[in-house]
Structure 1
């Protein structure tokens, strides 16, 4: 099945970083709903998994997907969830500028952490969906996350990320350490929050989802998905349609 066509856009963040984005118009109802789609670490709006998710979500509203700084066609360097809130904010502001009166962010993994932090710290959205998101920083309790930290913290790891995935990671450590996603979740209300996590996630165990959900105030929901792995690559069309229906009800 061909994917819904999208139209490129170039955004500028409040701190001056050029962000590559794409707008997929709504394919059905929900003409007033804009869904801002935020990929995971080393991802891109051009990856087929992200494009497939945008295609499915476009049945419920228009979709604005972006490449975070240091990823894909965007400028700058990745700060792995800190300054990326400005990238997401630029995409949210763009969605409103092109006519969407309701805007819901849908983030996967790192993108989920950014969506939580954006909604809690900068506000400006009508709903938030965090899929496979970490609750806290510096988690090394699984082998995949130890590999991620190697890519972030070691020169050889940053080189491998640049050459293998085109991801440019900042060498500067966080100073100060930004508020964790679960801390930001406490400030999202009155916007509704949906936390989605798989019980087969190899990166972040379920306690991350529970910590985010427990920290948030109502309205909030937690979906624990049996057999679901991690982020975009494991997301089925059926799950994305359920997320789209939730966003359409916001």
Structure 2
């Protein structure tokens, strides 16, 4: 592997960090280091400038107020847009996923998003809470998604993005699709944290960031066991 450090930025942990989303940063860091990649982890708070030269940017979930404030500060900062223009990877979860789009609602008010993904989000009639699973876009070449969702939003996808997955359990975007991706940008409603439950998804982000088409395999016994347990629980709950 390259001796150059992989730079991972966790955006605004003081605003956007719910349901263990910090675990996504820890999983990426660990899986990279297990493969001999040097890693530099940066936690950038909302009162700090965002570096525009990192490899992977992570945006977690958050409540309405922090989500709106986070979007406003990222728009004013401009660093994430510069990073995307340079080919960086961006992974957004829940509120972080929504603010990558053109607009979202917080506390009954419509806010502009970052317009990095062709999606828009509004409020659903009910809150989506519980297990979330789906068959991931086959072009990404990874196993089905497993996670936990807790959100009141519904997200509409425009023509320039693709759904991350087709829902088999839960709501996701609208009960039919879950998440969205385009290029090296990917968003999901899956907490859990998402990359702990879905190590293949973590490796996809690492491959995008490094340009390595195939990474050395790791022992994912515990992640596989967790995924199997959750699938079994969902199946049991669905039985009459």
TM-score (norm 1): 0.40
More strand by share: 2
